[in-house]
Chain A
């Protein structure tokens, strides 16, 4: 994968609104496919008062299906990168500090699996700790290698039970949060339990 950052000026500020967002572009001859984010930065001293930027991630064409499957995370990652670009863009040339920061962010993103790894998928297979039913759940929390994800599973997501799961950054289940238990339910159930001592208790109560 390669990453390109480009920029251009508008001739008319009204054009800017038409071309935001991201796009998947095939480069047929090169046998490549790109995922590109377009964004703008306001700048008073240029024509159209805005500059138009793009960040492209470039892949071998065989990764086409994977790109579509993970488009939402690619989009989020590139938007984070675009925030860095916005913060550091001063003139037509990017400062060395910016380039260093961009390099750092890209390497972290790749290391954390945001860009290249199959762990990019935001779906986790969750097993209910009570009934062991399984289901695939979308995880939307932002996460990194250093933190665990605490994700609440609601009734109906996996099974009729509600619980909180701890996941690692690869979305593997690490454990479960201790559930709150209401012992009054147990008390009600215990009353219904039949034992040979029931008669003795009835006599005592009378």
Chain B
């Protein structure tokens, strides 16, 4: 079995955050979280001879990002004869819910493995886990207020979102809607599981539609549409 642990990373003491960008007041928390997540991913065993990838003793699979996000949904909507292709609202909702379930499930297992009890411990490992699994880097904005109640609000960008990158590679920045639906779904799933409240995330600007960044807002479901409108209004005055 070939062990592909990154020895350099093991030896290096983390002084600055590498896999996530957060406001200063959260830095200490996230540096600790980064150490824990790095330790978890150091257990990576990649063994093509037996056809297994193990991390923390669990099976993982590698899937080509573009196949997951565009190939699979396009084939599905075609077979179901859903008009509008992958922008069909049913398809969008399905992709979002699937990713949200993945986020919830991954968070639940990860928190259990790591022995986390505190919501902030659970939440802070999410963006780092996200980066390690290749979805995107996360940049949490200072306007965020991640409290485990109805005032929860998270504003963040996903630089190098795998969905925007894949779309741009296929079609350029020509999308009429934000495409990072799985990014939104997964992050809302992870945070919902971490805080024990139902959260919803929406992408409001996207590189795949020509915007400068993939910007998301996350809030309790009953507040999300107002938050989206509020942030869109702010963008127009900037």
- Chain A residues within CB distance 8 Å of chain B: 127-132, 145-148, 150, 161, 166, 168-169, 174-179, 181, 183, 185-186, 189-190, 192-193
- Whether B83 pairs with A131 at a CB distance below 8 angstroms is yes
**CA separation between A136 and B236, bound complex, in Å?**
21
Interface range for B? 20 to 34
B78-96, CB < 8 A from A: 79-84, 87-90, 92-94
> Could you show 24 A-B contacts with beta carbons less than 8 Å apart?
A128-B176, A129-B87, A129-B177, A130-B83, A130-B89, A131-B83, A145-B236, A146-B237, A147-B233, A148-B229, A148-B232, A161-B84, A166-B232, A174-B204, A174-B235, A175-B204, A175-B228, A178-B228, A181-B90, A183-B90, A183-B93, A186-B90, A189-B80, A189-B82
B81: contacting residue among A168, A183, A189, CB under 8 A? A189
- Whether A150 pairs with B89 at a CB distance below 8 angstroms is no
Q: How far is the CB of A135 from chain B (nearest CB, A)?
A: 13
B176: contacting residue among A127, A179, A193, CB under 8 A? A127
Q: Judge if B202 is at the interface, Cβ distance under 8 Å.
A: yes
- Whether A174 pairs with B83 at a CB distance below 8 angstroms is no
- Whether A174 pairs with B232 at a CB distance below 8 angstroms is yes
B80: contacting residue among A148, A176, A181, A186, CB under 8 A? A186
**CA separation between A128 and B81, bound complex, in Å?**
18
- Whether B93 pairs with A132 at a CB distance below 8 angstroms is no
Instruction: Name which of A129, A161, A176 has the most chain B CB atoms within 10 A of its CB.
Output: A129
Q: Judge if B225 is at the interface, Cβ distance under 8 Å.
A: yes
Instruction: Give the nearest-CB partner of A128 in chain B.
Output: B176
**CA separation between A175 and B236, bound complex, in Å?**
12
Instruction: Name which of B80, B89, B94, B178 has the most chain A CB atoms within 10 A of its CB.
Output: B89
Instruction: Give the nearest-CB partner of B84 in chain A.
Output: A130
**CA separation between A105 and B133, bound complex, in Å?**
55
Contacts of A189 in B (CB 8 A): 80-82
- Whether B79 pairs with A130 at a CB distance below 8 angstroms is no
Interface of B is mostly: helix
Contacts of A147 in B (CB 8 A): 233
**CA separation between A76 and B123, bound complex, in Å?**
51
Contacts of A161 in B (CB 8 A): 84
B84: contacting residue among A131, A178, A190, CB under 8 A? A131
Contacts of A181 in B (CB 8 A): 89-90, 92-93
Instruction: Give the nearest-CB partner of A161 in chain B.
Output: B84
**CA separation between A132 and B225, bound complex, in Å?**
22
Q: How far is the CB of B30 from chain A (nearest CB, A)?
A: 29
- Whether B236 pairs with A174 at a CB distance below 8 angstroms is yes
- Whether B233 pairs with A130 at a CB distance below 8 angstroms is no
**CA separation between A185 and B89, bound complex, in Å?**
11
**CA separation between A178 and B177, bound complex, in Å?**
11
Contact with A along B166-209 (1 / 0, CB 8 A): 00000000001110000000000000000000000010100000
Q: A131-B84, A177-B225 known; 9 other A-B pairs, CB under 8 Å?
A: A129-B176, A129-B177, A130-B88, A148-B229, A166-B229, A174-B235, A178-B202, A179-B89, A190-B80
**CA separation between A148 and B178, bound complex, in Å?**
18
Q: How far is the CB of A168 from chain B (nearest CB, A)?
A: 4
Instruction: Give the nearest-CB partner of A172 in chain B.
Output: B236
**CA separation between A57 and B63, bound complex, in Å?**
64
Q: How far is the CB of B130 from chain A (nearest CB, A)?
A: 23
B85-131, CB < 8 A from A: 87-90, 92-94
**CA separation between A166 and B229, bound complex, in Å?**
8
